[in-house]
Structure 1
Amino acid sequence: MCQRGERQAFEVLVRRYMKRAYQIAFDFTRDGEEAKDLSQEAFLRAYSQIRHFDQRSTFYTWFYRIVVNLCIDHLRRRARIPWERLDGKNQQSAGEEAMGDTSSTPDQEAIAGEVKRRLGTALGTLPGKQRTAFLLRNHHGLSITEIAKVMQTTEGTVRVHLHRAVAALRQSLAELV
């Protein structure tokens, strides 16, 4: 229905995938406004290119490839490393807000803040493909097969990226454990 240009059918897809698109964009940019702009741009591109969707994969993986590509292109244009602003001035993601516990002590909050800071720094040092695979798997819950489709690579390559990302993060965060 969407491929025939039916606007209402596409609106259903927007409602279904908007939060996910925003979260992926936020994971790359760590900026709420940029994430909103990128997720909206992804839907515009998907709408204009929907006729080229060949249904060999799910809409989900096809659309996420659009989001990831937009984010990578955006970061290249800005020539910056994601997660550079971890000083509390960024907008919190939905996951971070949900983790917040109003009954925690100042010491617990300080420790949690330090863990978030170090994790963000460690994620920021990962090579792009490792970071992308790690976030899609661990933050967004995609399967190895879905990640391979999104990243346009083999499942074996995804496993290698994930293994290397986890090893690098373990090494970076070893003193916290």
Structure 2
Amino acid sequence: MHNIAPAQGEGAGGVGTRLTPEQFAARLQECHRTVWTIAVSIVGDPSLADDMVQEAAAVALSKLDEFDPSTSFHAWFGQVVRFVALNEGRKRRRTRSEGDSRIEGAADRSDPAAPAAFDSRVRAALESLAEAPRTCLLMRTLHGMSFTQIAAALDIPEGTAMSHVHRARATLRERLASMNPAPRDQGGGA
């Protein structure tokens, strides 16, 4: 781990404390995976999520004097990423055509032979979730983050993170089941 001390002042929460750009970069590296997940859950495109994290880093670096080093960098920067990505999402929704998809499933990259119909159903179900539950679900399932980590990254109570994940999973199950009902047993043999 990095030993990150405030750039000035007496202590972690002392008056006049501020992260240096080098300390900012070190903390950004530590939380990159988390904030990238936040961005991709909002904009739906892994490549665009990279751009959103980079843009958020530029915004955050310009507002570094507003960050209190005694607080959670993950939560602070996660909110910056979230706002940048939400703004981009709003901008894209205004210009997006009807047939475009916001969610690029992980299956697209890991298994090119995956059926397109399945991918589109999963994308549609994920897209139907509200941003916060979708973000919590992706952080938990794709990155294996604990509820404590999710809560810290999104600056929400741990119970809220748990609730979002639980409800998002239930909603996904329900929506996927309604899109593709399970075949009934016809009682026949092989």
**TM-score, L = length of structure 1:** 0.69
1:1-177 alignment runs, 5 A limit: 4=18, 6-18=20-32, 21-31=35-45, 34-79=48-93, 85-86=100-101, 96-97=108-109, 99-100=110-111, 109-111=113-115, 113-174=116-177, 175=180
Q: 1:26 to 1:127 in 2, by over 3 A?
A: closer
Q: Any gaps of 5 or more consecutive residues in structure 1? A: 102-108
Deviations along 1:16-57, one digit per CA (max 9) or x if unpaired, are: 555654454233223455333311111112212333333454
Distance in 1 (CA, whole Å) between partners of 2:170 and 2:120 is 19
2:143 maps to a residue whose letter is H
CA contact (8 A) 2:140 2:150 kept: yes
Q: Any gaps of 5 or more consecutive residues in structure 2? A: 8-17, 183-190
1:117 maps to a residue whose letter is S
**TM-score, L = length of structure 2:** 0.65
Deviations along 1:40-91, one digit per CA (max 9) or x if unpaired, are: 111112212333333454423332222122212322343369xx6349xx98
Q: 1:156 to 1:121 in 2, by over 3 A?
A: same
Q: 1:142 to 1:73 in 2, by over 3 A?
A: farther
Deviations along 1:114-159, one digit per CA (max 9) or x if unpaired, are: 3322111100011222212212222233321232233333222222
1:42 maps to a residue whose letter is A
Deviations along 1:89-131, one digit per CA (max 9) or x if unpaired, are: x9886x753x236xxxxxxx253x3332211110001122221
Distance in 1 (CA, whole Å) between partners of 2:152 and 2:37 is 19
RMSD, aligned CA: 3.4
- Structure with a larger share of its residues in helix: 1
Could you tell me the percent identity over the aligned residues? 29
How many residues matched?
A: 163
Larger Rg: 2
CA contact (8 A) 1:133 1:162 kept: yes
CA contact (8 A) 1:28 1:71 kept: yes
